[in-house]
Structure 1
Amino acid sequence: MKRLKFPVHLLVAIIFGLIIFSPSICPGQQSSEFLFSKGVVAYSEGNFEAALNYFQQASQLSPEDAEIQHYLGMTQMQLGKYDLAIKSLKKALSLDPTIKELHYDLGVTYFRAKNYPQALSCFLKAEKVQPQRAMVYFYQGYIHYLMKKYNLVAPPLNKAQELDPSLTQTCQFYRAMSLMKTKRYNEAEKEFQATIDTAPETDLAKAAKTLKKRVAALKKEEKRWSIIPSLSMQFDDNVTLKPDELPAAVKVSDEEDYRTVFHLVGEYRLFKNECWSSVGRYTFYESIHSSLHDYDLIKNEVNFNLTRRGTLGEGGIPTTLGFDVNYSHNLLDARPYLETIHFRTTWGLSLTQNSFLQLQWRIQDKDFHYSVINSQSNRDGLNNLIGFNYFWFHCNNTRYFRWGFFYDHDSTIGSDWDYDGYRFMLSYFLPLWKGIKLTIDSEYYYQDYKNVDSVYFQERSDREYTWSISFNRDFHSNLNLAFQYLGREHNSNIEFYEYDRNVYMLTLTAYF
């Protein structure tokens, strides 16, 4: 950190004043202004021990002087007395909030004390009062790097480099490091080369050369595939047939049962470059009930995903645009039951350093393979869905709050199943202790059916409430154990469609 600057003409005036007036001042009668002036001189000369002595004496005489508290805090920081420095700087800020440098100096003090979240908070406040100070943005980017929030490093470093070109090589180096940490190896190689080209003889350039070679090796080693199997033991107090592809239950047993669920996901990255990536995915799902085998479900699913990363606007807001096609084939009690195919597009925007918005649109075609009682009960058709999820992260991005809304419309061959759906969602995630993580989800879903039911001869209106709570913990690097409870209350103005359900799940997941 640069030493606190002090105007030369003011320093000369202080020294001149000391020469003229000091003989007439007795040692026991020194004013706080005189002691403060001597402290500033000692501080400017780097004699922090002497400066501390003067500022402490001045503070005793004028404890409500914000400037004295400011210099006292800066001196304490230089001497490594961070707790005292923070206390003094906070007092100065409370005495005179108009001193613009205080937020920055507090940020530097917290940074030196390795309290990175508080430091970041101070630098964000400093940005509002000193928007042209390059180091405000540099510290923000560097703190994001130290806190492993690599996707947030580049924007503030870009701003710091724009305001102060002398920071160019350092900003290039940490952008490259962040790209390497997020496995964006091609971009990292280019940024490391830019670091070398800026000033080839510096220590940063030498480090960049070594790391560039490391990136080249990592590109060769990078794994393109992953396999994620899981095994779940579940108890359901009202076994219900409701595949993931469907917004409403198809069949309710009104009986309880135990089941074993096996789930397997295999992914293969088809390609990846600076802007584009593509992944192919296969999913297998099988549920086996202890007694109600009519509800045993097997699903095979294939998905192709294409993603583009970029930035939006002059501020360089990180964005992600995704497209995916999904085909699913379901067997019920070993017989063909349901086929679906959907096309979906998503658009994600990092609105701020701790908020993310994802927009989604999807169209889905459903083809059921079971016989229907009459043409009005045929559920084959199209489902259109549009909506969003908003994520707000806090506590150093270790916790998040999510809320979302989705509208969907089912247009089916049978008039009984045409509806408009409105889904509201709330979630909260937080780490607890000993590596245990807690997720709480809640959902309200309203379905307004458009036609008179062909069996019950009235228009149908359903309201569904779903809530779940999950505790999970990682073991080593490739195992996770989770306990989850799910509750659902489905209400309808037609009594036949009403049901309640509680499911308890214990799941072991492996990552390869």
Structure 2
Amino acid sequence: MTDYNNSWVMAAEKATNPTTSTLFAEGVRYYRAKDFARALACFQQAEKAGDNRPSLYYNIGVCAFKEGQYPISRQAFLKTAESAQMRPIAFYNLGLVSLKENKQPEAKEWFTQALNLTDDDKLQTLASSALQRMGASNEATHMAAAKYISAGFGHDDNAELASDTSTTSGQGDCYAEALFYFKSSLPQSTFTKNLQARGTLYYQKYFDLVEYDLGMITAGLFHTMPVGNNWQLESGVDYSYLAQDGKNFEQIPSVNLQLKKYLAGRTRLNLGYRLSYLDFLDSQYRYLNGWRQRFEVDTSSKIKGFRLILGYLLELNDRDDDDYSARRHQVKAGVSYTPFARLNLFGGIKYRISDYDYGTGAKREDKRAISTAKATYGLSGKWDAILEYQYTDNDSDMAGYDYTRKVVSLNIARSF
């Protein structure tokens, strides 16, 4: 349990042995009794007994901070930051440590990185407020920029077109891929307040199936503002361009609306709407031109060391060819867990039903399930190794649309 402000340690999670579990629980009890020295001793004993969970290092950092032992606190938060999931909160606390050590430039850097990396509204507010108190509003808060890069290799046993047409090749091949993502607040003025630019570059190169090579560019502008009772509204527009085999394939302008709110505990609720126009530049697929609407609701909750994700999506299509104007319902569920420092595990499933009404009176129903397993391991610095496996099973009541697909990939990624 934590409020991101160095006021609480994290409550006990499931430990690997009774000794570390008991020491961890004792440390939490002493902390709540404000006996920070004994709490720190318990957490350090748990570490010596073999506990190396990120939550333990975080608690050591908090207790050492309370005791004024800033070098110990710094080392503990650096170890916490080896977990990709806890990196933003670790960076924020490293900023607090740097302030206590009168290292102002270093503190600004930690707070800025925490602001850039987190999607947590509370942590964003705390990091932004810390920067503003330091007089960094123009230099850091308003010009904050985050970047993410990844590159790696994979194998796809049934290469698929970029569009959602259920068109697969029936052929497998290895591929290389690279991704660059950025977001940056605009220089502040009356017209640009709370505006953020975002962009993505992606390229996938197959070794043999070059006709499935994919290039994608996305650019957008988004505005965030508080509304109602602790809701946050994000609105924006973006444009995507896709090339297949080096040729113009598709362009998609979109309008986005999203409402976010934190409920009880560490549960976040998202309500989203996205309106897109799909414009196929390849004449072979122009019958798919048309509008697509997506309505989405999802929640994310942290429960005893596990992060649970649930969601529902409704998709409505109005294409030039009514036969391809599918109505889709999709549900998703996922769970992530950090068993020890540096390693985060994720498993999830998406299940979608697509209904098609043909002009002849015939109907078609596709049922697609996508299962995902992913392991993220923190390397030195801010680098992560990401191993992912995805299995797709599309079952249709019309011949020619059944297929399965297996994709495995290994990427190296870094956040800036």
* Both proteins in one fold, TM over 0.5: yes
1:471 aligns with 2:380: no
| Contact 2:162–2:214, Cα closer than 8 Å, also in 1 | no
Per the alignment, residue 225 of structure 1 pairs with 145
Q: 1:183 to 1:424 in 2, by over 3 A?
A: closer
Residue 306 of structure 1 aligns with an amino acid whose one-letter code is H
Separation in structure 2 between the aligned mates of residue 107 and residue 462 of structure 1, nearest angstrom? 54
Deviations along 1:233-268, one digit per CA (max 9) or x if unpaired, are 01011111134xxxx335211011001111112332
SS of 1:220's equivalent? helix
1:282 aligns with 2:199: yes
Residue 326 of structure 1 aligns with an amino acid whose one-letter code is D
1:446 aligns with 2:353: yes
Identity %: 15
Residue 155 of structure 2 aligns with an amino acid whose one-letter code is F
Which of 227-236 and 479-488 deviates more? Answer: 227-236
Residue 257 of structure 1 aligns with an amino acid whose one-letter code is D
| Contact 2:195–2:222, Cα closer than 8 Å, also in 1 | yes
Kindly report which structure 2 residues correspond to 1:315-464, keeping only aligned pairs within 5 A, or say none. Answer: 317=230, 319-372=231-284, 378-395=287-304, 398-452=305-359, 458-464=362-368
Separation in structure 2 between the aligned mates of residue 233 and residue 421 of structure 1, nearest angstrom? 31
Deviations along 1:195-219, one digit per CA (max 9) or x if unpaired, are xxxxxxxxxxxxxxxxx5xx12586
Tell me the C-alpha RMSD between the 2 structures. 3.8
2:155 to 235, 239, 242: 235
SS of 1:352's equivalent? coil
| Contact 1:271–1:279, Cα closer than 8 Å, also in 2 | no
**Higher-Rg member (1/2):** 1
| Contact 2:290–2:320, Cα closer than 8 Å, also in 1 | yes
Normalising by structure 1, we get a TM-score of 0.56
| Contact 1:420–1:450, Cα closer than 8 Å, also in 2 | no
SS of 1:490's equivalent? strand
Q: 1:390 to 1:186 in 2, by over 3 A?
A: closer
What is the Cα deviation at residue 510 of structure 1? 2.2
Separation in structure 2 between the aligned mates of residue 281 and residue 494 of structure 1, nearest angstrom? 40
Deviations along 1:9-63, one digit per CA (max 9) or x if unpaired, are xxxxxxxxxxxxxxxxxxxxxxxxxxxxxxxxxxxxxxxxxxxxxxxxxxxxxxx
1:302 to 219, 234, 240: 219
| Contact 1:324–1:343, Cα closer than 8 Å, also in 2 | yes
Separation in structure 1 between the aligned mates of residue 284 and residue 290 of structure 2, nearest angstrom? 14
| Contact 1:238–1:502, Cα closer than 8 Å, also in 2 | yes
Deviations along 1:255-297, one digit per CA (max 9) or x if unpaired, are 1100111111233211579x96222122111111111111111
The runs of at least 4 aligned residues of structure 1 exceeding 6 Å deviation read 109-112, 145-150
Deviations along 1:123-147, one digit per CA (max 9) or x if unpaired, are xxxxxxxxxxxxxxxxxxx99x989
What is the Cα deviation at residue 113 of structure 1? 5.2
Residue 277 of structure 2 aligns with an amino acid whose one-letter code is D
Q: 1:441 to 1:295 in 2, by over 3 A?
A: same
SS of 1:353's equivalent? coil
> Which structure has more helix as a fraction of its residues?
1
Q: 1:276 to 1:405 in 2, by over 3 A?
A: farther
Per the alignment, residue 256 of structure 1 pairs with 172
In the comparison of the two structures, how many residue pairs are matched? 324
What is the Cα deviation at residue 112 of structure 1? 7.7
| Contact 2:166–2:401, Cα closer than 8 Å, also in 1 | no
| Contact 1:293–1:333, Cα closer than 8 Å, also in 2 | yes
